[in-house]
Structure formats: C-alpha cells, structure tokens
Amino acid sequence: MPRARNGEIEIAYETFGTESDPPLILLHGLGSSMLVWNEEMCAGFVDRGFLVLRMDHRDSGLSTVLSDGTRYTLDDMAGDMVAVLDAAGCDRAIVCGYSLGGMVAQAAAAAFADRVAGLVSVSSNTGEPGVGDPTPEALAALTSPPATTIEAQIESDLVGYRIWSNPDWRNEQAEREYLERSYLRAWHPGASERQFKAAARSGSRADALRSLDVPTLVIHGGGDTLIAPDGGRRTAELVADAEYLEVDAMGHELPPQVWAPIISAVTALAARIAW
C-alpha cells in the first residue's frame, strides 16, 4: 500500500481508477478508517469518471499512530491530505469528507484553497457551539470509554449504530463483518479520543466557510442523531452558492442505500468544475 509523508507522519492511501481522470479524495470519520468508503462505492465513483483516492487519517488504520497527549488540529489533518495528493501526483482534487472527514475537508478548503477543486461535506458540522449537536444518547455512545478487546470494541460500535443508523437499512451481520475486517486490519484504542480533541480544539469554522470560493456540496441525513441535520444546513448556509442535499431516511451512516444519490450528486458537482 502506498504511503505519503507529512513531516514525521506517514499516511496510508489507496487509489482506484485511471490517473488521467479528475481526482476525488475520500476522508473518513472519527475512529474508523478508509474502509468506511466501501470498495463498491469507490467503483461507482470510478464508473462516473473519477480517479478515487481513499486514505487513513493519522491515528487511524495503517497510518501513523501517535502517543497519548499528542496535540494536533484539523489543519494538521488537512496537511496530511495534501501530502497524499502530492504523493499521488494530483494538483487538485474534489475533497469529500464524511463526519470528522467533512471537518477536515472544510479545513482543507480554507487552508489549501489551490488544492481543493470542489468540497463535499457529508454528515458534518461547522464547529460552532450549538450547531449539529448529538442527542444525549448518541453522545454517550460516542464518548464511551475505549474497549479493551476487539470483541468488546465491536459490541460498543454496534450499540452506536443502533442509535444513529436507520433501523430499516441496517444489516447487523454485515456491520459486524465490516468491523471485524476493520479492526483486524488495525485497532488503536484511544486514538479516536485524540481525533475528537483535534476537532474540539480547532473551534468554529464559520468565518473560514464564509470566505470559501469553491464549488461546494453539503449532504446530510434527515435522521442523523449523532450530528443533527442543522449541522449540514448551517454549513450550506455559510458557503456561498453551496448545494444542499438532505436524505430524509439517512442517519449517521454510509449504507448501500445512499451510495447512488451521493455518487450522482458528486458527479453533478464535478460537472461545474473547470479542470
């Protein structure tokens, strides 16, 4: 698996598709890895004419895992993404981030405007207090203490899925298999807490979002209890000419039911970009 370097940080990434096609880089959420972006979904993007890159954030997957107490910010994580673009030979890309990845994507669009051809923020928020807040039940599940075994971590994650996913769309056996595959690949107890703190210490992105001049698409689930839909609505409100897509039945999740609408919306955004 190729790796990019940002100072002392190594970032693992993968590519799908043809190098001459417009690049689309996918950023995952808190405590997960690039595997959140299912290979079939990546193939769907490739079929629409994208070169797809997916990466493990620092403190995730096969990328550098830091020690307890290490401090970093969303801007640092955005720098990791730029390092991946450099390593892959991409001058610019559409940056699509889910949840925490959406926060990193927003930070990248502000800090590295020349590298971001388009911004897609999925199931994310603006960092403003009182915007996109979780329900108490969802917050309790998100901030539960780190598990001490992979088996316990899987059960803890499934508790969260039952809270913030659409029950009619869930396939718990498939979820369990995904979690097993993900944690057997790499498991880093406590790392998600450092990512959580990185987002918290980075503060509000409202002023940065107001200043953006980049084609932007915001997608959010109408049933999201982990990051409430007003987080997405506020993001779209702040970015000039942003398009907003709210998927009523979608919670805080990326199941097969949402792949087609997301792929279609990102493809439409790409058509607005002068490559």
- Write out pLDDT tens, residues 107-116: 999 999 999 9
Answer for the pair 219, 232: CB distance below 8 angstroms, yes or no.
yes
CB 148 within 8 A of CB 155: no
Transcribe 178-221 into DSSP letters.
HHHHHHHH---TTHHHHHHHHHHHH---HHHHHT--S-EEEEEE
- Residue 270 corresponds to which tokens in the numbers above? 């790409």
What is the tens place of the pLDDT at every residue in 114-123? 999 999 999 9
Helices (H), the chain: 39-47, 74-88, 100-111, 136-142, 150-164, 172-185, 191-202, 206-210, 230-238, 256-270
Cβ atoms of residues 236 and 242 within 8 Å: yes
Query: pLDDT (tens digit, 9 = 90+) per residue, 38-93?
Result: 999 999 999 999 999 999 999 999 999 999 999 999 999 999 999 999 999 999 99
Please write the tens of the pLDDT for every residue from 165-203.
Answer: 999 999 999 999 999 999 999 999 989 999 999 999 999
Residue % of the chain over a pLDDT of 70: 100
CA distances 269 to 16, 66, 238, Å, are 20, 35, 18
Query: Across the chain, what does the average pLDDT equal?
Result: 97
Beta bridge partners of 122: 98, 219
Would residue 31 be called left, alpha or beta, if left means φ above 0 and alpha means ψ between -120 and 50 degrees? left
Determine the 3-state secondary structure of 72 from DSSP.
coil
DSSP state of 240: T
pLDDT for 146 equals 86
Superfamily (CATH) of domain 3-133+191-270: Alpha/Beta hydrolase fold, catalytic domain (3.40.50.1820)
The rounded percent of the chain whose pLDDT value lies above 90 is 98
Chain-centre distance of CA 4, in angstroms? Answer: 18
Spans of all domains in the chain:
3-133+191-270
Supply φ then ψ for residue 102, to 5 degrees: -65, -35
Quick one: pLDDT at residue 112? 98
The strand order across the sheet containing 216-221 reads: 3-6, 9-16, 51-55, 23-27, 93-98, 116-122, 216-221, 243-247
